[in-house]
Amino acid sequence: MNLVTRILLVIGFSLHGFVPFGLFHSSAFAQANSTQIKKPSQVLILGDSLSAEYGLPRNSGWVQLLQNELKKQASAVKINNASISGETTSGGLSRLPALLNQKPDLVIIELGANDGLRGLPIEQIEQNLRNMIQQSKKSGAQVLLLGMRIPTNYGPEYTQQFYKLFQTVAQSEQIALLPFFLDGIATKPEYFQADRIHPNVDAQAILFKNVLRALEPFKSTLGLKN
């Protein structure tokens, strides 16, 4: 075999088994990026005036305090606060499908108080909450339900049924529950605005801490350390 033939054989082998370095490198880089780059977790808060900063200076509510805590701990979680003053469970249920299109990782439901203050049927409130929870879970999100209490305007039986419905729903749907969102302020007038219904600025830190404790099962999702 002469020299020319040997050279041609070597070239032919090299070309046959050749993988361009640039192509290999870019493929590996893209694969590495796809495993390293992850969409930041998102929390959807579906609530009423208690979460919508009703009567408060802007960015002073418990939701903002939660976002501040996430930033403090270098968490990339983003909060979508879809709370509206006066919102009911029916209103929240009607708005939820569009909000779930954003694929939140966690849905915090703070609704029901306005239903109870209007004396709406317990069964209706319960079913609306169940529907919201089930839709959220179906979308792939975890759920935290914030429980509420109401005054005895409609009698002690209705008041007790209202309080228990949150526990009933949370247990049967197997989700996390904060039994009473207003724990620590409900019986203290100094924590309420002049209407004696809506918590004031001083109460927001307490509400924030209540929710933060309830978020214990979701620390990994939220990137919280403490």
Distance (Å, whole) CA 112 – CA 126: 9
Calculate mean pLDDT across residues 115-122. 98
* Active-site residue, selected from the candidate residues 49, 75, 136, 139: 49
183 as an active site residue: the answer is no
pLDDT bucket at 221, cuts 50 / 70 / 90: confident
Are the C-beta atoms of residues 143 and 175 closer than 8 Å to each other?
Answer: yes
pLDDT at 156 over 50: yes
Residue 39 has pLDDT above 80, yes or no: no
At 28 the pLDDT is: 41
* Average pLDDT value for residue range 81-107: 98
- Give 14's pLDDT tier (boundaries 50, 70, 90): very low
Task: Give all strands of the β-sheet with 42-47 in edge-to-edge order.
Answer: 78-81, 42-47, 106-110, 142-146, 176-178
Give the range among 26-40, 55-69, 87-101, 154-168 with minimum mean pLDDT: 26-40
Banded model confidence at residue 32, pLDDT cuts 50, 70, 90: very low
Provide the pLDDT for residue 223: 80
Determine the pLDDT at residue 99: 98
Q: Is the pLDDT of residue 16 over 80?
A: no
Give residue 38's pLDDT: 55
pTM of the model: 0.83
Active-site residue, selected from the candidate residues 60, 85, 90, 198? 198
pLDDT reported for residue 25: 42
Token code pair at residue 67: 């976002």
Higher pLDDT, 21 or 108: 108
Told to judge if 198 belongs to the known catalytic residues of this protein, a careful annotator would answer yes
**Which H, E and C letters describe the chain, residue by residue?**
CCHHHHHHHHHHHHHHCCCCHHHHHHHHHHHHHHHHCCCCCEEEEEECCCCCCCCCCCCCCHHHHHHHHHHHCCCCCEEEECCCCCCCHHHHHHHHHHHHCCCCCEEEEECCHHHHHCCCCHHHHHHHHHHHHHHHHHCCCEEEEECCCCCCCCCHHHHHHHHHHHHHHHHHHCCEEECCCCCCCCCCHHHECCCCCCECHHHHHHHHHHHHHHCHHHHHHHCCCC
Which domains occur in the chain, in start order?
Answer: 3-34 (no CATH), 41-222 (3.40.50.1110)
Please confirm, yes or no, whether 48 is among the known catalytic residues. Answer: no
